[in-house]
Amino acid sequence: MSTPSTSAIIVAPHRVGAMVLRYLYLLRSSWTRLLELIYWPAVQLFVWGFLQFYIAQNSGFFARASGVFIAAVLMWDVLFRGQLGFSVSFLEEMWSRNLTNLMISPLRPIEFVCALMTMSLIRLAIGMLPVTFLAIAFFGFNVYSLGLALAAFFVNLILTSWAVGIVVAGVLLRNGMGAESLAWTLMFVLMPLACVYYPVSVLPDWLQVIAWMLPPTYVFEGMRALLMEHVVRVDLMVEAFALNALYFVAGVFAFLQLLKGARRVGSLLQTGE
């Protein structure tokens, strides 16, 4: 007989697949959901892309740093949409009042999390791939030319987005739909500190300490180093990865504790406000 701690970490691919299938059915049934995935990243790209054009025409510095705003907005979208993809899939269960059915099924929390991570990647691919091609077509910026560095940026950003998404899901389980706004807004707390569009050095010293606690800060600094100085900062990526590993494990732990709390206070029975 398996112990509870062991059984909690067993992952059955068929159950993860079942949940992914459920979300794919949902996406397929709703063209508005599909459109929404592309709409905002495309709008962001055009706003920042034209702004980059304008500034580059009037500043030699930005003319040399071609594509830095567009790369930043694309990377920010990986971070934000990655978390949103995770959280919205989770919210779908609460909106459809289906969470109880899942919680009494053999689906384990870790399998649920795996399915949400998979959906985060799928939703990101649907939303971001067309936008990267738009960036090439309209602004001549090819994000894929960043090569292996792009992979390192992506892995670090998606790990942060999942860590945040997991904690948000736990808070929703524990506190119900009253906490829904967290799913839409929490990532924006990180935005000024992660230094998406400006270097960390512009922050006051005390705020820089906080900024360096966030893995995305390393990614955006690394991205600027690559685009403006043509230097690949492996050290930054390794540090970001180490921080991400820490936050991801902490996120999963927090999720399991919040789920336990939800069982204690009975909030899995009432997933409304």
Partner 1 sequence: MSKAVEPVIAVDQLVKLYKTTTAVDGISFALERGSITGLLGGNGAGKTTTIAMIMGLVMPTSGTVRVLGAEMPRQRYQVLHEMNFESPYVDMPHRLTVRQNLKVFGLLYAVEDLNDRIASVARELDLTEFLDRPTGKLSAGQKTRVALAKALINSPRVLLLDEPTASLDPDTADWVRGHLERFRKERGATVLLASHNMAEVERLCERVIIMKRGRIEDDDTPQRLLVRYGRRTLEEVFLDVARGRGETREAAQ
Residues that bind partner 1 (CB under 8 A): 1-2, 4, 7-8, 12, 14-15, 17-19, 21-22, 25-26, 29-30, 92, 96-98, 100-108, 260, 263-266, 268-269
Q: Which amino acid is at 169?
A: A
- Distance, in Å, from the CA atom of 85 to the CA atom of 104, rounded to the nearest integer, reads 24
Q: Hey, what are 197's tokens? A: 């569009």
Nearer to partner 1, 14 or 230 (CB): 14
- Distance, in Å, from the CA atom of 204 to the CA atom of 186, rounded to the nearest integer, reads 22
Tell me which residue of 93, 111, 220, 113 sits closest to 162, measured CA to CA. Answer: 113
Least CB distance from residue 89 to partner 1, whole Å?
12
Nearer to partner 1, 4 or 60 (CB): 4
Tell me which residue of 68, 212, 153 sits closest to 203, measured CA to CA. Answer: 212
Nearer to partner 1, 1 or 202 (CB): 1
Least CB distance from residue 17 to partner 1, whole Å?
7
- Distance, in Å, from the CA atom of 60 to the CA atom of 91, rounded to the nearest integer, reads 46
Q: Which amino acid is at 159?
A: L
Least CB distance from residue 267 to partner 1, whole Å?
9
Q: Is the distance from CB of 165 to CB of 184 less than 8 angstroms?
A: no
Nearer to partner 1, 204 or 266 (CB): 266
Least CB distance from residue 166 to partner 1, whole Å?
20
Least CB distance from residue 158 to partner 1, whole Å?
25
Nearer to partner 1, 246 or 269 (CB): 269
How does DSSP assign 139-195, residue by residue? H---GGGGTHHHHHHHHHHHHHHHHHHHHHHHHHHHHGGGGHHHHHHHHHHHHHHHT
Nearer to partner 1, 230 or 264 (CB): 264
Least CB distance from residue 259 to partner 1, whole Å?
11
